[in-house]
Structures are given as structure tokens and as C-alpha cells.
Chains A and B, each alone.
Chain A
């Protein structure tokens, strides 16, 4: 893109591009903005029906955040969430890459059925799967440890990672791979040196996806881990801040905000890499 963007071009892109994007951005952000505002409001204003809901008029308070930090084990939960999500993501992406490669590239007996079988796992809703799974987790002796989550999360992450990467691997011309193999690379080296670099967008996409799903996971975390100090963030926040018919709205929203912030930053940072990588590749 050159620097000589003229005025007329600029205003055209304003109308055809930035104006249409605006409602999307608004739609995406408003609930989150509202979340932030709610977390910073004093209870008296929060529960006043006549107050403007999306403004803070009676002063900002950090009280809800204090409640979260002091009265709950929020930071332990947070660390647990990070540990579990990172571990599950790494495992899933690695398994996904390994499985996707032969499924996309090699012909072997059972390839098709396995490809389909992977997909079918998604047809069983987790709301049902978790019951028998809890038996398995218990038999493995993993109940009430973070390992329970690190081991079970890949069950819903691996299929997606595999499928996504299969798609990307298929787009790479086979000739390149053949060249590498003629140069003496074995399968593993070809995968590592040839296919993987080309599939970077796919790998990042899969990793982001896996990370997000792990970070958001609620059911398994609730079911497999009970001790307060081992809970993940969402489950922890729910247990402490919803008390029967009383919701601690400020605290819940504060939890949601802190819970989102680091990944948001990571995403923005990561996305930049990801996008610049893609752009560089596309522009040559």
C-alpha cells in the first residue's frame, strides 16, 4: 500500500469501508463496554433504576475489584486458568499437527474413517459426555487436579485443530514436499520444515481457537475440580459471586473484565504478528 492516499480515496474508503465496519465494532464492543462500566459503578448507582445505565455519574469505584482480590482466591483461579489453557493448547495443537499431516497428505487404510470419526465426536454434546467422562477421569486418578482438565480439554480441541490444519496442509503444493524429500528429508522433517511454515496461519488460528475454548470452558472444570484453590477463573467467579437470588453484579463484571484483559492484550499482540505474517506472505 503506497503512501499517496489522496483525499478522495480516503473519503471513499471512509464510506465504503469504515462506516460499514462501525456497526460491527459497536455491536461487538457495547456489551463489553457495559461490562466495564458495571464493574466500576457503585452499588447504589448500579441498582438505581433512574440512573443512566451506561454512564458513571456518582464516581468510579474499585470496590468490586477489591472484593474480588481480597475476599476471593481470584488470582489463584486466574493462574490455574492460564496453566490449564496453555498446556491444553500446546498439547492439542501438537497432536493436531501430527494427525492432520498424514490425513491430508498420505493414503493409508482407515484414513477416511478416522477423519470422519474425529468430526463425529462433536456430535455428542458435552452436556452429556461429561457424565461418563467423569468416571474415566476418576479411574485415571485425576479428579481434583488440574491434570484432569489438561487431559480432557484436548478431547474437544484436537478435532478442530486437526481439521483446520488438514485444510491448510492440503493447500500446499505437493511438489515442494517432493523436492524436500528428494533432498533427503524424511516425513517428519518435511512436516517440520516445509509444511509447518506454510501453515503458520492455520497453526496460529488453531492455537487461538484452542486457547479460547480452554479459557472459556466451564463444565469440565466445574465437574472435575472441586477444591477452591484449584478452580479455574470462570467457575471460581461463579461460585463466589452468585449467591442464590443475589448476584454480585459489580464483582461478576469485574471478574469478567480482568479475566478478559490479558487474553485481549495477547490477542491484539498475536493478531498483529499473525496478520503481518499473512500480509507479507501475500504481498511477496
Chain B
């Protein structure tokens, strides 16, 4: 198909790109009308289908809105009320633990997996396909499998551990607050790892081989090549992947909702599940929105700084 013929082009351009000088030309600097035309579809889509609901969400969090009613402005009342709630403080703690650990695991293992996959030659297709699977299978259903695997009575994990005499009693995966947190993190990692691995792999493949050869001729070992070639060149991809994943992980709903419903004793409630309980079940959208948007200012800051870093690192040449 078309891809085949394109391959040649890629080769040509990447090699020519290497050779070419890196100077910037003002030649393409200003092209405003073209730019606006190209951006327009995305702009209108986001304006109508995201911006409006988004503004409304912020309004919700500052009002005593309830489902179907706009409510009136109450300032930061919702947020203050949340801070007084033990359950919310617990939720805040849970969310931070959940996100940071899951993200750390996904980054480390995703990178490791990408590096391994990069070198795999035999059964390449099979292995790459296999590790990608968790990401493909519909989440709503795959989370059910995990629940089925950890469900106290039929847990295949406990059955196996007991059969191998690793333990002689059931491990309370979901009843114990800390193990429950461990379990939801595990499932999140399972699901998110392929996204990291495959995207990073794509980044790795895009790194020109000459860079490694050059580093090697400068006497860099495998570790050196990793730190001085791979990491800097992967940075933009890595930054975006981490940022995306952080946002999605922080907003995770399904895993907790299916595995623990926020229990035991609210020890696994995340923003999304608690917001669901308050805003949808309880109809207090104002409060629900406040939960969801609680970290918004902080996240906004993170996004800005990280995006600036990304931009810097990509315009380095």
C-alpha cells in the first residue's frame, strides 16, 4: 500500500535532515491566514463542544448548582466545605498516592519495556502485539476481569498463591485498605503501561542511528548512550506521555468504581468516584464539580510549566 512507498521517503528525509544545517530561516515565519484556516476545524470543535461545557463546569464549582438547575453564585463555599470533610481529605490523599505511584511505575517499566521491545527481533510482531493488548481491550470489561481475579471468594491470585503454598491464608486484596490501593494501582499500571511502552518505542525508532554511532565513537557505553542520546531525544515524547497519563490517571474512574467503589472505608476514593457520588448520585453538581476541579489550578500550573519545558527542548536545535 501507500506506506511502502513512503518508507523510502522517510529514509531519504531523515538522512538528508541529519546532513543539513540547522539554521532557521524566516522564509516560513509568517503565514497567518493559512495557519488560521488549518486550525479552524479544531478550534471550532473545541470551542463548541469543550469550551462551553468547560466554562459551565467552572461555574458549577462556584455555585450551588444542582442537576437541572443553574443555582446561584456561592464563591469558594464548595471548596471550603470540602476541606472540612474527612472523606474529601482522604480522597485528596488517595488521589495523590494513586497518581504518583502509578505514574512512576508506568514511566520506569514503560521505558524498560520500550527499550526491550526496541531490540526484540524474533517474534517481534507477536511480542509487541501481546504487550499492547491491555490497552486495546475495552477498559470497562477488562477492569471486570481484574475484579474477578481479586474477588475475595474466587480470586485466581489467591488460589494460585495458596496452591503454591506461598501463603496459607487468603490475602485480603480488596478488604485491606492498603492492599486495595495497591490493587487499583496495579490495574491502572497494567492498563497504561502499553501506552507508555509503544509511544516511547515509536520515539526510540525515530532516533537516527547515527546519533548512537556518534556517541559510541565518542566512547559512550550503553548507559552513556541511554543518558546522552536516548533520554534527551525522547524528552519531548516522554514529557507529553507523562503529562497525558498524569491527567488521565488522576481522573481515573472505572477501576476504582468497579473494584472498590471507593472502599474500604473511603481509602481508595479518587476525585472522579467521590465527585460521582456527590455530584451525580447526590445531584449536587456544585460540590461534585468542586471535587473534580479541586486540583485544577495546580494542574494548570503544571501544564504550563511542562509545556514550556517541552517547547524549549524541541526548539533546541
A residues with CB within 8 A of B? 1, 13, 17-18, 20-21, 24-25, 27-29, 31-32, 34-35, 38, 47, 49, 52-54, 94-96, 98-99, 101-103, 105-109, 111, 114-129, 131-133, 136, 151-152, 154-155, 158-160, 162-164, 167-168, 170-178, 181, 187, 194, 197-198, 200-202, 205, 209, 212, 215-216, 218, 233-234, 237-238, 247, 249, 252-253, 255-256, 259-260, 263-264, 267-268, 271-273, 275-284
Which secondary structure dominates chain B's binding surface?
helix
In contact, B57 and A120 (Cβ under 8 angstroms): no
By a CB distance below 8 angstroms, the chain A residues around B124 are 275
Interface string of B122-156 (1 = CB under 8 A from A): 10111111111111111111101110110001101
User: For chain B residues 86-136, which have a beta carbon within 8 Å of chain A?
Assistant: 109, 112-113, 116-117, 119-122, 124-136
In contact, A273 and B3 (Cβ under 8 angstroms): yes
Task: Choose from A18, A128, A200, A268 the contact partner of B275 (Cβ within 8 Å).
Answer: A128
In contact, B34 and A102 (Cβ under 8 angstroms): yes
**Distance in Å from the Cβ of A104 to the closest Cβ of chain B?**
9
Using a Cβ–Cβ cut-off of 8 Å, how many residues does chain B contribute to the interface with A?
123
Q: Closest chain B residue to A26 by CB distance?
A: B130
In contact, B50 and A155 (Cβ under 8 angstroms): yes
Q: Closest chain A residue to B303 by CB distance?
A: A119
In contact, B142 and A121 (Cβ under 8 angstroms): no
Interface status of B74 (Cβ within 8 A of chain A): no
With contact pairs A38-B148, A187-B34, A216-B139 given, residues A127 and B67 touching in the complex (Cβ less than 8 Å): no
Interface status of B253 (Cβ within 8 A of chain A): yes
In contact, B137 and A260 (Cβ under 8 angstroms): yes
Number of A-B contacts (CB under 8 A): 337
In contact, B11 and A280 (Cβ under 8 angstroms): yes
**Distance in Å from the Cβ of A168 to the closest Cβ of chain B?**
8
Q: Closest chain A residue to B137 by CB distance?
A: A260
In contact, B127 and A25 (Cβ under 8 angstroms): yes
Task: Choose from A1, A129, A163 the contact partner of B121 (Cβ within 8 Å).
Answer: A1
Interface status of B172 (Cβ within 8 A of chain A): no
In contact, B46 and A28 (Cβ under 8 angstroms): no
In contact, B303 and A49 (Cβ under 8 angstroms): no
By a CB distance below 8 angstroms, the chain B residues around A170 are 236, 314-315
For the A-B complex with A118-B42, A197-B6 known, give 13 more contacts whose Cβ atoms are closer than 8 Å: A31-B145, A32-B133, A34-B149, A108-B30, A155-B49, A170-B314, A237-B141, A247-B144, A252-B141, A259-B141, A271-B128, A272-B125, A280-B8
